[in-house]
Chains A and B, each alone.
Chain A
Amino acid sequence: MFLLPGILLIFLFFLAPVVITAVMGFTNMDYRFQWNFVGFGNFFRMSDDFLVPKILVNTLVYTFGTLAIFNVTFGLILALLTTSISERVGLFFRALWLLPRFTPPVVYAAIWLWILSPTRNGLLNGLRVAMGLNPIAWISEYPWGVIIVTNGIIGASMGMLIFASAIKAIPRDYLWAARVDGASWFQEVRHIVLPLIRWPLMFITAYQTLSLLTSYEYILLITQGGPFHASEVWSLYAYNKAFSAYAGTYEFGYAAALATVLVLIGTVASIAYWKMFRFREMMAPPRIEVS
């Protein structure tokens, strides 16, 4: 009985949107908001949509590229570096890296637009010109690179924070023992630190996968998914179908079907991670003294 309000809340805020989205995915709802059920129509349309394969590839490259290069690896490197220098300097660098999180997304995007501007007034091209090189249209030339870097720079800070606190929680004795046993810094990281922060690693990997799958605001602001859908990812495509009038209509039904597929992908990924890390679980519960 006491759980009832809680269950209701969970249903209202977490389950209901998913259910409504899934149900909406079976309608051809548009700006008139009519629930006309069309069976699997939207899903057949998806399989015929010539853009879908391209967008799927974009999504995978973006999600796992950002994840592998920045959100996990770079976050880990930042955490390792800032925990192996003096406490105060480390804290300063971590705080510095956190700044973009406090910056409004539009400002952050604007800074990137300036850095990547195809004109010679952009930061990168300004440098190229100063070195006697020709300017490059960064966004058109390297759409994947741009969305990975711009999302990764800001995304790495979460991993950095979680990993840094996990690393600091490792008893110093383990690290000292490894040093006496003959471990170099790299061996210490590989054999002691990484295995001991396995759970935070898994958490960040899974959490960031889901958040990257569904995030599109920086892409929308910086590349708009372009040029020619080259950097358009699944969630942005769904957003465009629903809210952008470039198709002339607000295709809520089709967008909902796209979103439903995204939820499925996310669920499958979560289960896969769970299995993968669970498999290596081997720390046994400690036993009390008997001898």
Chain B
Amino acid sequence: MASIKLEQLTKRFGKVVAVNNLNLEVKDGEFIALLGPSGCGKTTTLLMIAGIYRPTQGKIYFDDVLVNDVAPKDRYVGLVFQSYALYPHMKVYDNIAFPLKLAKVPRKEIDRKVYEVAKLTKIEELLDRMPGQLSGGQQQRVALCRALVKEPEILLLDEPLSNLDARLRIETRAEIKRLQRELGITTILVTHDQVEALTMSERVAVMHAGVLQQYGPPDELYDRPRNLFVASFIGDPPMNLIPVELERTDGRLRLVADSFVLPLAEEWENMLGQIPEASFTLGVRPEDVRISTEEKANALLGEVFLTEPLGGGTLVHFMFGEISFRVLASREIKMDVGDKFWLVPDQSKLHIFTKDGLSVREVGRRDAQ
């Protein structure tokens, strides 16, 4: 197994900057995810690690060894393409055996290894078929087998689940996680699906327009998004994001937008006090708001506009003038359109972003450094 280190990695295609100054470390045996919307440079990053693309700038290290000039075949990397890229003219067996044949592994050994990985992913009975005769889920397994059969040090998965239907996706998610843990192989999963990233990996790197936004464990991304992009991209249902003005009345700070007026707790005084501007974006996760029938401190009075039952709970939309505010309520509370409730956001879980989209917490931390 190997650790990976990317240093100021940049890839340009003509004028397009696909990956911009990316710094990233993956520990030996770690499972990380590259998460971001389509076109943000995830596949390009993966292909640079695999040695298919040559970086325009920057360095790639495996176990502290510079591999920029190492050919793909000498990188000991297994890669599952988004398209699976199973060779259409070879049987499943030959697809999986291909890397071993090229490495001149003896026939018997090839046989043993192919059956071994086929068993691992439960596709033994498919070995005689052509790829065109397989379903998407089966093709995905075969591609995984082909990547694993040469016992690579690093496993790269490019949107391995995106071609599967919803139920199969959940099963396969767990299975890939299990495989990764059993084999202890350093793994990078590329995905645009935040649930996939958060559930499968130990750390998630969020990318946007070729730039790394934040890299950390799922909890950290969820609890302390560093900027607006991460805040809006992570979380389902998504975070409420409201452009607000900071006002001081009677010595207390309040965030105001239209008829939405949220008094802030003392703890925010320090952080916001340092910032000269008055316009911010407030972020509140729907699950971080308590609903009460009685007036509370630092609460707002809202009227139910719409309810969406989600099975486990209810997503309730409140309107404050033009501003819609979604709250996740437990099913026990009975709510009808037009009912009024006090909404109490958890002050310690508020997210406040500057005009540049940076979290106020980050601004404080950066100034302290």
What is A's interface to B at a CB cutoff of 8 Å? 171, 173-174, 176-184, 187, 191-192, 195-196, 198, 282-291
A-contacting residues, B121-140, CB 8 Å: 130, 132-138
Question: With an 8 A cutoff between CB atoms, is B99 at the interface?
Answer: yes
Whether B73 sits at the interface, judged by CB under 8 Å, is yes
Tell whether A182 pairs with B83 under 8 Å between CB atoms, given A283-B130, A291-B136. no
Query: Are B87 and A289 closer than 8 Å at their CB atoms?
Result: no
- Please tell me if B47 contacts chain A, counting CB pairs below 8 Å: yes
Contact check, A287 vs B134: say whether CB atoms are below 8 A apart. yes
Instruction: Determine whether B98 belongs to the interface, using a CB cutoff of 8 Å to chain A.
Output: yes
Q: Is the beta-carbon distance between A180 and B72 smaller than 8 angstroms?
A: yes
Which residues in B have their C-beta under 8 angstroms from that of A181? 73, 98-99, 102, 146, 150
Q: Are the C-beta atoms of A174 and B87 separated by less than 8 Å?
A: yes
In the bound complex, how far is the Cα of B46 from the Cα of A177, in angstroms? 13
Given A176-B47, A291-B138, are A171 and B133 neighbors across the interface (CB < 8 Å)?
no
Other-chain contact of A182, B103, B136, B137 (Cβ < 8 Å): B103
For the complex, give the distance between the alpha carbons of A1 and B50 in Å: 61
CB-CB < 8 A to A182: which residues of B? 72-73, 99, 102-103, 150
Contact B132 A291 (CB under 8 A): no
Q: A179-B73, A289-B136 are in contact. List 14 more A-B contacts (CB 8 A).
A: A174-B85, A174-B88, A176-B52, A178-B98, A180-B52, A180-B79, A181-B73, A181-B98, A182-B99, A283-B89, A286-B132, A288-B135, A289-B165, A290-B135
* B residues less than 8 Å from A180 (CB atoms): 50-52, 72-73, 77-79
- CB of A185, distance to nearest CB on chain B (Å): 11
CB-defined contacts of B165 to chain A, threshold 8 Å: 289, 291
> Cβ of B215 < 8 Å from any Cβ of A?
no
Point out the residues of chain A lying under 8 angstroms from B103, CB to CB: 182
In the A-B complex, the 7 residue pairs with the smallest Cβ-Cβ separation, listed nearest first, are A182-B73, A173-B85, A181-B99, A177-B85, A286-B132, A182-B102, A195-B89
A176 to B133, CA, bound (A): 23
Q: Mark B171-204, 1 if CB is under 8 A from A, else 0.
A: 0000000000000000000000000000000000
Alpha-carbon separation in the docked complex, A283 to B89 (Å): 6
Q: Is the CB of B72 within 8 A of A179?
A: yes
Given A176-B52, A291-B138, the answer on whether A285 and B81 have CB atoms closer than 8 Å is: no
**Would you give 11 A-B contacts (Cβ < 8 Å), ordered by A?**
A171-B85, A173-B83, A176-B72, A177-B85, A177-B146, A178-B98, A181-B146, A283-B132, A286-B132, A287-B133, A291-B136
The distance in angstroms between the C-alpha atoms of A196 and B146, with both chains bound, is 19
In the complex formed, the residue of A with least CB distance to B135 is A291
A289 contacts which chain B residues (CB < 8 A)? Answer: 135-137, 165
CB–CB B150/A282 < 8 A: no
Least Cβ distance of B290 to chain A in Å?
43
- Interface centre among B72, B134, B136, by most chain A C-beta atoms within 10 angstroms, is B72
Q: Cβ of A282 and Cβ of B146 under 8 Å apart?
A: no
Is A196 a contact of B88 with CB atoms below 8 Å? Answer: yes
Min CB gap B96→A, angstroms: 10
- In the bound complex, CA of A233 to CA of B79 (Å): 54
With A174-B85, A177-B79 already in contact, the answer to whether A287 and B135 are too (CB < 8 A) is: yes
| Chain B residues, Cβ within 8 Å of A287 | 132-135
Point out the residue from A171, A183, A196, A288 that lies within 8 Å of B89, measured CB to CB: A196
Q: How far, in angstroms, from A174 to B85 measured CA to CA in the complex?
A: 5
A285 to B71, CA, bound (A): 35
Chain B residues closer than 8 Å to A184, beta-carbon distance? 73
Partner of B102, one of A187, A196, A282, A291: A187
Of residues 76 to 105 in B, which have CB atoms within 8 Å of A's CB atoms? 77-79, 81, 83, 85, 87-89, 98-99, 102-103
Q: Say yes or no: A177 contacts B81, CB within 8 Å.
A: yes
Contact B73 A282 (CB under 8 A): no
Check if B168 is an interface residue, CB within 8 A of chain A: yes
Candidates A171, A183, A288, A291; contact of B73 at CB < 8 Å: A183
Instruction: Give the Cβ gap from B160 to chain A, nearest Cβ, in Å.
Output: 14
**Alpha-carbon gap, A288 to B134, bound state (A):** 8
* Contact between A192 and B87, CB atoms less than 8 A apart: yes
Q: How far is the CA of A287 from the CA of B131 in the complex (A)?
A: 10
